[in-house]
Structure 1
Amino acid sequence: MRALSAAAAGLAMALSSPASVEQGVARQTHPYVGMWVTNDGQVRHELLPNGRYDEARGRRESAYRGRYEVTGTHIEYWDDTGFTADGDFVDADTLHHGGMVLRRRVHPSRSPSPP
């Protein structure tokens, strides 16, 4: 009985870990997964296939992180700190978000592109 209880406790801890939670998230199937960058390279959104995003601002990597959902050409963001945002994909290579225009980066890299 004690072994069963310990096993159950171990399973509960594994299921509550962030890595396990992310592994349980369905993979996104929309065409917008990847890196999106402003023309000056200062804002970089990486839309991950597990429904999470990672946003860098200037030299500050992972300035914002959270989850996102895409419905058609509309994207909704829920930041881990609690705020929400949204945007719209104008075409396959252009995202309008928060007054910014981001373009798809073909080769994901966190370093800004030269102007």
Structure 2
Amino acid sequence: MTDEARATHPYVGLWVTEDRHIRHELLPDNRYVEARGNRERAYLGRYEVTGSHIEYWDDTGFTADGDFRDGILYHAGMVLHRER
């Protein structure tokens, strides 16, 4: 994927739980930052999207995944909506 395609990819951006406690920022360079409550950089790592599936690799070695369905990110039992 080119840099331009990454920057305009429909999943790049901020995804939040309804209460905004969990916030995933998917960056255009295939990195992510996850905030939890007052911890703005609780988790950092890389991600890869294939179709509507996302795989996460935290910098500490933790892995996770999720799926985008109908404009919603379902990840590890959480429901995140795109913040625009």
Structure 1 length as normaliser, TM-score?
Answer: 0.67
* Structure of larger gyration radius: 1
RMSD: 1.1
Residue of 88, 111, 114 corresponding to 2:67 = 88
More helix by share: 1
Residue of structure 1 equivalent to 2:75: 97
Off by >3 Å, runs of 4+ in structure 1: none
Indicate yes or no: 2:35 matched with 1:38. no
Residue of structure 2 equivalent to 1:14: none
Structure 2 length as normaliser, TM-score?
Answer: 0.90
Q: Deviations over 1:72-101 (max 9, x none)?
A: 000000000001000000123x10000000
Give the number of aligned pairs.
Answer: 80
Shift of 1:30: 3.0
Specify every segment of 5 or more residues in structure 1 that has no aligned partner in the other structure, as ranges: 1-25, 107-115
Residue of structure 2 equivalent to 1:60: 39
| Identical aligned residues as a percent | 71
Residue of structure 2 equivalent to 1:6: none
